[in-house]
Structure 1
Amino acid sequence: MRPIVILAAPFSGASWLAGVLGTLHGACAVPQLFPYLADNCGELMEIFRLGQDEHGDGLLRLVGQLYCGGQDSAAIARAQQWLQAREQRSVAEVLDEIAATVAPERLLYADCETPLRPIYTRRLLRMHPEADLVHLVRHPWSQGCRFAAWLRECIFVPTDFRDYALFPPCPDPQIAWLRANENIERLIAQWPADRVHRVRSEDLDHDLQGSVDRLAMRLGLSGRVGDPSRWPYAQRGCREAPGGLEADVWADIPEADERLATQLSMSAPLPWRPDGASFAEEVKALARRYGYE
C-alpha cells in the first residue's frame, strides 16, 4: 500500500494533522519516523543515537506498539532489539515490513526534517516514489511566532536556523520556512500531480471537517474526523522514548506569543528580529503563491 507522507516546515502542525487523518478509515497514522536520514537501518539508528533530540523515539514507540506489546519501558527495550536485528536491512525494507503489518490501512506519517535537506528529499523520491505527498503550509508569520517562542527556550539552535547578517547571529524561523517549502516545491515538481495534495493550516482551522473531507477524498480515506487525543502516540511516551511528534504539539507557547501569532502580516517588522526587518522578498513571494497576503 502506498504510504502517505505529510511534509511541512517545522511548527506548521504536521504531527497534529497526522493524528487527525489517523482517525479516518483507511489510514494508520504513526509518529514521526525520520526514515530518510539514512539508507540503512543500522546507520539510521546510529544517527538517532548520536543526535541531541528525540528523533528516534517515534520509530521505537511504533515498533513497541506493533510488535512488542505496547510503549512502556520493557516494550521499548524489546523494540531496540527488534531494530538491532534489522541493522543490515535497508530503511525501505523495514518500512515495507511495518506497512505490511498495518495493511490494509495505509501507513501515514508527518516529516518536518526531510524538507530541510535536498539529500533527504532525494532519498524520499528514491525510496517511496509511489507515495502520496501532503504539503502542509502555514502562514510564515504564525509559524514564525510560535517557532521563535520555542527557540528562545532551546539551549542549542542549529546554525542554519540563524541569520548571520546580524551580530550576534539571530535565530530566524523564516529561514526554515523558506528552505523547507522550497525543497518541497522542488520535490513535488518531480511527482505525479494526482499524488500531491496541498493544504493550508488556516483552512483546517476555519473548516476542519470540510477541509479534511476534501483531502480524504483525494487520498482514498473516509469517515468523520474523530478525537486525535485518543491516538496511541498523542501523549508523551515513557522515559526511554518520550518523543515522537513534532515539538509544536507539546510546546508550551506563552499566551502573548499565541496572541501575536494570530495577528498575521506580510509587511510588519518581525517580532523575533532585533533590527525591525520584515520578511525577505523570497518569503513574501512564496507566501503569495500559497494565497497569503
Structure 2
Amino acid sequence: MLAPQPVFILASPRSFTSLVCAMLGQHPEAYGVPELNLFVTDTLEQFLQRMSGFRRFQLHGLLRTVAQLYAGEQSLYSIEMAHRWISTRLDHSVGEVYRELCEKVAPLRIIDKSPVYAANRATLNRIRKTFPDAYYLHLVRHPRTQGQSLMNVRGGQIMAVMFNSVDRSTNPPTVDPQYNWYRMQSTILDFLSDIPPQQKMHVCGETLLNDPKLYLEKICRWLNFSWNETILEAMLHPENSPYATLGPYGAHLGNDPNFLKSPAFRYQSVVPSQLDGSLPWREDGKGFIPEVVKLAQELGYS
C-alpha cells in the first residue's frame, strides 16, 4: 500500500503557518513536521550545499524530523545520527527522500508548512511532479499584519532582503515586505490554477483562528479526515507536537522562533486590518501599491 500523499501549506512567512501546521498535526491521522524545505533543489546533495552558511538554519527542520522519526527523540546524539542519515542519501533526489519520510510515518499523512516552497514556481512544480495527488492549503494573512509581524521578528528584515522584498524606487532602497507578499500570493494562485479543485483549499488565517472549530472541521472534511469533539480538543493543543519547542543545539529551529517559545493556541479575536493608510515599516508615509490592494481584496480582505 502506498503511503498517503502529503498536505502542503502554501503561505508567506509569518502567516500563522507554524501554529496551523502544529494544530493540524495533532489530528490522529496526520503528522505535522517542521519546515523540511526539501523541494528547493533536485537532489539531497544540492539541498545540503544550498543550506550552508547563513541558510544553515533552514536545515534544522529536516534534522529534527529525521531525529524524531528514526531515534524517537531530539538530542545532540540523534541530531548527529540525522546528519549521517542525510550523508548516506546525498545521491538521492529530494522526492525519493520525501517519499521515504512519508513511508516512515504511514499510515499518517505528513503536513508540511515550509514557506520557501511558495517563493518560486519551479519548487512547486517539483512538488507536484513528486506528489501528483498532494493536497494544498493556501493560508493567507492580511499584508499589513503579515508585513508588520515579519519586520518586528528577530531577523525579519534580513529575511525580507533574502526574498528581495525591497522598494528600489527610493534612495536608499526601502525594505518593504509587501512586495514579497504580492509575489508569493501570485505564485501560489498561479500554481493552484492548474490543481484539481478537490486538492486545494483557500483560508484566511485570521478567520481560522477566530473560529477554529468551524474551520478545522472544514479542513478535516476536505482532507477526508475523521472528525469529532475529541479530535478538535487534540487539535487545539499544538504545544503537544514534538516539534513545538526549541530543539537541541545545532538544530534548535525548524519553526517560527516566536511559536517555539510560546506554542499554545489561545482564544483571542484577531482584529481585521486595513488596506488604506501609511505602512508602519516605511518612513516616507507610503501605503500599499495598487497591485497589493487589488490582490488582497480578491483574497477576502478590505
Fold equivalence (TM over 0.5): yes
Match of 2:15 among 12, 17, 20: 12
Give yes or no for contact 2:150–2:156 (8 Å, CA) kept in 1: no
The one-letter code matched in structure 1 to 2:17 is: A
Contact 1:37 1:120 (C-alpha < 8 Å) held by counterparts: yes
Distance (whole Å) between structure 1 residues aligned to residue 297 and residue 180 of structure 2: 17
* Secondary structure of 1:5's aligned partner: strand
CA shift, 1:250, in A, is 4.8
Deviates more, 1:41-50 or 1:95-104: 41-50
Q: Structure 1 pair 230/33, CA: closer, same or farther in 2 (3 Å)?
A: same
What fraction of aligned residue pairs are identical, expressed as a percent? 30
Per-residue deviation at 1:105? 0.6
Q: Look up the match of 1:278.
A: 287
What residue in structure 2 maps to residue 257 of structure 1? none
Among 239, 250, 256, the alignment partner of 2:249 is 239
With over 3 angstroms needed to count, the CA separation of the structure-2 counterparts of 1:76 and 1:11, relative to structure 1, is same
1:183 maps to amino acid: T
Deviates more, 1:102-111 or 1:125-134: 125-134
The alpha-carbon deviation at position 291 of structure 1 amounts to: 1.2
Q: State the TM-score, normalizing by the size of structure 1.
A: 0.92
**Whole-angstrom CA distance in 2 between matches of 1:136 and 1:274:** 29
- Residue of structure 1 equivalent to 2:239: 229
Residue 288 (structure 1) aligns with: 297
Aligned residues: 285
> What residue is the counterpart of 2:114 in the other structure?
111
Partners of 1:118 and 1:9 in 2: CA distance: 14
Letter in 2 for 1:42: E
Q: Is the 8 A contact 1:2 1:131 kept in 2?
A: yes
Aligned-residue offset at 1:69: 3.5
For structure 1, list consecutive stretches of 5 or more residues without a partner in the other structure.
Answer: 253-260
Q: Identify the match of residue 146 of structure 1 among 149, 153, 173.
A: 149
Is the 2:137–2:200 Cα contact (8 Å) retained in structure 1?
yes
Secondary structure at 2:111 match in 1? strand
Q: 2:128 is matched with which residue? A: 125
Alpha-carbon separation, structure 2, partners of 1:202 and 1:80: 37
Q: Does 1:175 align with 2:185?
A: no
Q: CA deviation at 1:284?
A: 0.7
Find the aligned partners of 1:116 and 1:151 in 2 and give their Cα distance: 21
The code of the aligned residue for 1:210 comes to L
- Alpha-carbon distance, 1:122 to partner: 2.1
Paired with 1:270 and 1:28, the residues of 2 have a C-alpha distance of 38
Q: Is 1:95 aligned with 2:64?
A: no
Comparing 218-227 with 53-62, greater Cα deviation is found at: 218-227
Residue 203 of structure 2: aligned partner: 199
Alignment partner, residue 249 of structure 1: 259
SS in 1 for 2:113: strand
Query: Which residue identity does 2:238 align to in structure 1?
Result: P
* CA RMSD, 1 decimal: 1.9
Aligned residue type for 1:188: L
Q: Which has the higher contact order (CA 8 A, sep 6+)?
A: 1
Letter in 2 for 1:214: K
Shift of 1:153: 6.4
TM-score (norm 2): 0.89
Query: For 2:214, which of 190, 196, 210 is the aligned residue?
Result: 210
Alignment partner of 1:31 is 2:40: no
Find the aligned partners of 1:62 and 1:175 in 2 and give their Cα distance.
32
